[in-house]
Amino acid sequence: MRILICNDDGIEAQGLASLVNAVLGLSDDVWVVAPDGKRTAAGSSLTIARQLMMRRVKPNWYSCSGTPADCVVSAMTWLFADEPKPDLVLSGINDGRNVAEDIAYSGTLGIAREATFWGVPAIGFSRVKNPEFADGDDEWLGRLIASLWQSRADWATEGHWLSVNLPTALPAEIRQPRIGRDKIGRTAEVMESDGDRTVITVPRGRAHASGPGDENAAIDAGFVSINRLNWFGETRLDEGFLDGIPRWRQS
Protein backbone atom coordinates (compact mmCIF):
# COMPACT_ATOMS: atom_id res chain seq x y z
CA MET A 1 0.00 0.00 0.00
CA ARG A 2 1.59 3.24 -1.15
CA ILE A 3 0.66 6.36 0.85
CA LEU A 4 1.45 9.95 -0.16
CA ILE A 5 1.31 12.59 2.58
CA CYS A 6 1.27 16.34 1.88
CA ASN A 7 0.39 19.45 3.86
CA ASP A 8 0.13 23.23 3.67
CA ASP A 9 2.04 24.10 6.87
CA GLY A 10 5.42 23.14 5.45
CA ILE A 11 7.90 20.28 5.46
CA GLU A 12 8.93 20.92 9.08
CA ALA A 13 5.42 21.11 10.58
CA GLN A 14 4.65 19.03 13.65
CA GLY A 15 1.32 17.93 12.19
CA LEU A 16 3.05 16.42 9.17
CA ALA A 17 5.37 14.35 11.37
CA SER A 18 2.40 13.18 13.46
CA LEU A 19 0.50 12.05 10.38
CA VAL A 20 3.53 10.13 9.13
CA ASN A 21 3.91 8.46 12.52
CA ALA A 22 0.23 7.54 12.49
CA VAL A 23 0.50 5.50 9.29
CA LEU A 24 3.80 3.72 9.89
CA GLY A 25 1.87 0.71 11.16
CA LEU A 26 -0.22 0.61 7.99
CA SER A 27 2.48 0.68 5.33
CA ASP A 28 6.23 0.69 4.80
CA ASP A 29 5.76 2.56 1.51
CA VAL A 30 5.11 6.09 2.78
CA TRP A 31 6.14 9.20 0.83
CA VAL A 32 6.08 12.87 1.80
CA VAL A 33 5.93 15.86 -0.53
CA ALA A 34 5.33 19.14 1.32
CA PRO A 35 5.84 22.85 0.67
CA ASP A 36 9.18 24.35 1.68
CA GLY A 37 7.28 26.89 3.81
CA LYS A 38 3.83 27.67 5.15
CA ARG A 39 1.14 28.03 2.44
CA THR A 40 -1.99 28.88 4.40
CA ALA A 41 -5.21 29.46 2.38
CA ALA A 42 -3.56 28.41 -0.90
CA GLY A 43 -6.67 26.48 -1.81
CA SER A 44 -6.26 24.25 -4.85
CA SER A 45 -4.09 26.64 -6.90
CA LEU A 46 -1.40 25.21 -9.17
CA THR A 47 1.90 26.51 -10.53
CA ILE A 48 1.72 26.14 -14.31
CA ALA A 49 4.55 26.92 -16.78
CA ARG A 50 6.79 28.16 -13.98
CA GLN A 51 9.66 26.29 -12.36
CA LEU A 52 9.27 24.31 -9.15
CA MET A 53 12.20 23.37 -6.94
CA MET A 54 11.97 19.84 -5.60
CA ARG A 55 14.48 19.03 -2.86
CA ARG A 56 15.08 15.60 -1.29
CA VAL A 57 15.43 16.17 2.45
CA LYS A 58 15.70 12.52 3.45
CA PRO A 59 14.62 9.16 2.02
CA ASN A 60 11.06 9.40 0.66
CA TRP A 61 10.73 13.03 1.84
CA TYR A 62 10.70 15.94 -0.62
CA SER A 63 10.08 19.66 -0.25
CA CYS A 64 8.39 21.63 -3.02
CA SER A 65 8.65 25.35 -3.72
CA GLY A 66 5.05 25.50 -4.91
CA THR A 67 1.55 25.26 -3.48
CA PRO A 68 0.04 22.38 -1.50
CA ALA A 69 -1.78 21.10 -4.60
CA ASP A 70 1.51 21.37 -6.52
CA CYS A 71 2.86 18.75 -4.12
CA VAL A 72 0.30 16.25 -5.39
CA VAL A 73 0.88 17.14 -9.03
CA SER A 74 4.66 16.94 -8.72
CA ALA A 75 4.37 13.55 -7.04
CA MET A 76 2.06 12.16 -9.71
CA THR A 77 3.89 13.62 -12.72
CA TRP A 78 7.52 13.40 -11.56
CA LEU A 79 8.12 11.34 -8.43
CA PHE A 80 5.84 8.48 -9.49
CA ALA A 81 6.04 9.06 -13.24
CA ASP A 82 7.41 5.55 -13.87
CA GLU A 83 6.11 3.92 -10.70
CA PRO A 84 2.73 2.93 -9.28
CA LYS A 85 0.66 5.88 -8.13
CA PRO A 86 -0.32 6.13 -4.44
CA ASP A 87 -3.24 4.08 -3.17
CA LEU A 88 -4.13 6.79 -0.66
CA VAL A 89 -3.33 10.49 -0.25
CA LEU A 90 -3.42 12.07 3.21
CA SER A 91 -3.03 15.77 3.97
CA GLY A 92 -2.29 17.58 7.22
CA ILE A 93 -2.47 17.52 10.08
CA ASN A 94 -3.36 21.19 9.62
CA ASP A 95 -2.54 23.56 12.47
CA GLY A 96 -6.11 24.72 13.05
CA ARG A 97 -9.57 23.50 12.16
CA ASN A 98 -10.88 23.61 8.59
CA VAL A 99 -14.61 24.34 8.62
CA ALA A 100 -17.23 26.31 6.70
CA GLU A 101 -15.68 28.50 3.96
CA ASP A 102 -12.34 26.74 4.53
CA ILE A 103 -13.67 24.06 2.19
CA ALA A 104 -12.79 26.47 -0.62
CA TYR A 105 -9.73 28.22 0.82
CA SER A 106 -7.88 25.44 2.64
CA GLY A 107 -4.63 24.16 1.19
CA THR A 108 -5.12 21.00 3.24
CA LEU A 109 -8.41 20.28 1.50
CA GLY A 110 -6.97 21.50 -1.82
CA ILE A 111 -4.51 18.59 -1.58
CA ALA A 112 -7.31 16.09 -1.09
CA ARG A 113 -9.32 17.63 -3.92
CA GLU A 114 -6.34 17.42 -6.29
CA ALA A 115 -5.81 13.77 -5.38
CA THR A 116 -9.36 12.94 -6.45
CA PHE A 117 -8.61 14.39 -9.89
CA TRP A 118 -6.08 11.54 -10.18
CA GLY A 119 -8.62 8.98 -9.02
CA VAL A 120 -6.92 8.44 -5.65
CA PRO A 121 -8.87 8.27 -2.36
CA ALA A 122 -7.93 11.19 -0.12
CA ILE A 123 -8.45 12.40 3.44
CA GLY A 124 -7.62 15.85 4.81
CA PHE A 125 -6.85 16.12 8.53
CA SER A 126 -7.03 19.26 10.65
CA ARG A 127 -6.88 19.87 14.39
CA VAL A 128 -7.82 22.75 16.64
CA LYS A 129 -5.17 25.24 17.68
CA ASN A 130 -3.26 24.41 20.87
CA PRO A 131 -4.58 20.86 21.35
CA GLU A 132 -3.86 18.67 24.35
CA PHE A 133 -1.24 16.35 22.86
CA ALA A 134 -0.99 12.87 24.40
CA ASP A 135 1.35 9.96 23.78
CA GLY A 136 -1.39 7.83 22.24
CA ASP A 137 -2.67 10.38 19.72
CA ASP A 138 -0.74 9.08 16.70
CA GLU A 139 -1.61 5.46 17.44
CA TRP A 140 -5.30 6.32 17.78
CA LEU A 141 -5.22 8.31 14.56
CA GLY A 142 -3.56 5.37 12.81
CA ARG A 143 -6.44 3.13 13.82
CA LEU A 144 -8.93 5.71 12.52
CA ILE A 145 -7.11 5.91 9.17
CA ALA A 146 -7.02 2.11 8.93
CA SER A 147 -10.77 1.99 9.55
CA LEU A 148 -11.46 4.67 6.95
CA TRP A 149 -9.26 2.84 4.45
CA GLN A 150 -11.14 -0.40 5.02
CA SER A 151 -14.47 1.39 4.50
CA ARG A 152 -13.34 3.40 1.43
CA ALA A 153 -15.96 1.76 -0.78
CA ASP A 154 -18.55 3.74 1.20
CA TRP A 155 -16.97 7.19 0.70
CA ALA A 156 -14.27 7.20 -1.99
CA THR A 157 -16.55 7.42 -4.99
CA GLU A 158 -15.43 9.55 -7.92
CA GLY A 159 -14.70 13.17 -7.02
CA HIS A 160 -15.26 12.74 -3.27
CA TRP A 161 -12.89 13.03 -0.33
CA LEU A 162 -13.08 13.26 3.46
CA SER A 163 -12.39 16.23 5.71
CA VAL A 164 -11.57 15.20 9.28
CA ASN A 165 -11.35 17.75 12.10
CA LEU A 166 -9.78 16.58 15.36
CA PRO A 167 -10.79 18.19 18.67
CA THR A 168 -8.66 19.30 21.59
CA ALA A 169 -8.26 15.84 23.12
CA LEU A 170 -8.08 12.32 21.68
CA PRO A 171 -9.49 9.71 21.65
CA ALA A 172 -12.94 11.08 20.84
CA GLU A 173 -16.27 9.99 19.43
CA ILE A 174 -17.06 10.78 15.80
CA ARG A 175 -19.87 12.90 14.38
CA GLN A 176 -20.92 13.89 10.84
CA PRO A 177 -22.06 17.51 11.30
CA ARG A 178 -23.50 19.88 8.76
CA ILE A 179 -21.26 22.41 7.03
CA GLY A 180 -21.53 25.67 8.92
CA ARG A 181 -20.76 29.33 8.21
CA ASP A 182 -17.74 30.96 9.82
CA LYS A 183 -16.41 33.71 7.56
CA ILE A 184 -12.70 34.41 7.31
CA GLY A 185 -11.26 37.51 5.66
CA ARG A 186 -13.92 39.68 7.32
CA THR A 187 -11.94 42.90 7.84
CA ALA A 188 -9.12 44.93 6.33
CA GLU A 189 -6.51 46.95 8.20
CA VAL A 190 -4.96 50.01 6.55
CA MET A 191 -1.19 49.79 6.97
CA GLU A 192 -0.16 52.78 4.83
CA SER A 193 -2.01 55.46 2.92
CA ASP A 194 -0.34 58.00 0.63
CA GLY A 195 -2.54 59.71 -1.93
CA ASP A 196 -3.69 57.13 -4.50
CA ARG A 197 -1.65 54.38 -2.86
CA THR A 198 -3.06 52.37 0.05
CA VAL A 199 -1.57 49.25 1.65
CA ILE A 200 -4.02 46.99 3.45
CA THR A 201 -3.77 43.71 5.34
CA VAL A 202 -6.55 41.17 5.80
CA PRO A 203 -5.74 39.74 9.25
CA ARG A 204 -5.90 36.11 10.29
CA GLY A 205 -8.73 34.82 12.40
CA ARG A 206 -12.44 34.29 12.28
CA ALA A 207 -15.49 34.89 14.42
CA HIS A 208 -15.74 31.20 15.41
CA ALA A 209 -19.43 31.41 14.70
CA SER A 210 -21.33 28.25 15.51
CA GLY A 211 -24.84 26.92 15.03
CA PRO A 212 -26.57 23.78 16.26
CA GLY A 213 -25.28 20.71 14.48
CA ASP A 214 -22.45 22.36 12.54
CA GLU A 215 -18.74 21.45 12.54
CA ASN A 216 -17.70 24.07 15.09
CA ALA A 217 -20.38 22.88 17.49
CA ALA A 218 -19.23 19.27 17.15
CA ILE A 219 -15.53 20.08 17.51
CA ASP A 220 -16.10 22.39 20.48
CA ALA A 221 -18.11 19.62 22.15
CA GLY A 222 -15.09 17.33 21.85
CA PHE A 223 -16.12 15.23 18.86
CA VAL A 224 -14.14 14.27 15.78
CA SER A 225 -15.89 15.85 12.81
CA ILE A 226 -15.97 13.94 9.50
CA ASN A 227 -17.52 15.36 6.35
CA ARG A 228 -17.51 13.92 2.84
CA LEU A 229 -16.88 16.65 0.28
CA ASN A 230 -16.91 16.66 -3.52
CA TRP A 231 -15.73 18.78 -6.43
CA PHE A 232 -18.83 18.50 -8.58
CA GLY A 233 -19.51 22.20 -8.96
CA GLU A 234 -22.58 22.29 -11.18
CA THR A 235 -26.16 22.86 -10.10
CA ARG A 236 -28.40 22.38 -13.10
CA LEU A 237 -30.80 25.18 -13.96
CA ASP A 238 -34.51 24.44 -14.15
CA GLU A 239 -35.81 23.19 -17.48
CA GLY A 240 -37.08 26.12 -19.51
CA PHE A 241 -34.75 28.68 -17.91
CA LEU A 242 -32.99 29.40 -21.20
CA ASP A 243 -36.33 29.88 -22.96
CA GLY A 244 -36.70 33.19 -21.15
CA ILE A 245 -33.34 34.53 -22.38
CA PRO A 246 -33.22 36.25 -25.78
CA ARG A 247 -31.37 34.17 -28.36
CA TRP A 248 -28.71 36.84 -28.91
CA ARG A 249 -27.64 36.38 -25.27
CA GLN A 250 -27.10 32.70 -25.83
CA SER A 251 -24.68 33.01 -28.73
pLDDT digits (tens, 9 = 90+) for 76-123: 999 999 999 999 999 999 999 999 998 889 999 999 999 999 999 999
The mean per-residue pLDDT over the stretch 174-194 comes to 91
C-beta separation of 89 from 121 below 8 A: yes
* pLDDT, tens digit (0-9, with 9 covering 90-100), for 162-177: 999 999 999 999 999 9
> How far is 134 from 89, CA to CA, in rounded Å?
25
Look at domain 2-182+211-250 and name its CATH class.
alpha beta
CA distance 83 to 92: 24
Mean pLDDT of the chain: 92
pTM: 0.91
| For residue 171, cis peptide bond before it (omega within 30 degrees of 0) | yes
Query: Does residue 32 or residue 38 have the better pLDDT?
Result: 32
What is d(CA 223, CA 97) in angstroms, rounded to the nearest whole number? 13
CA distance 246 to 251: 10
**pLDDT band at 250; cut points 50, 70, 90:** very low
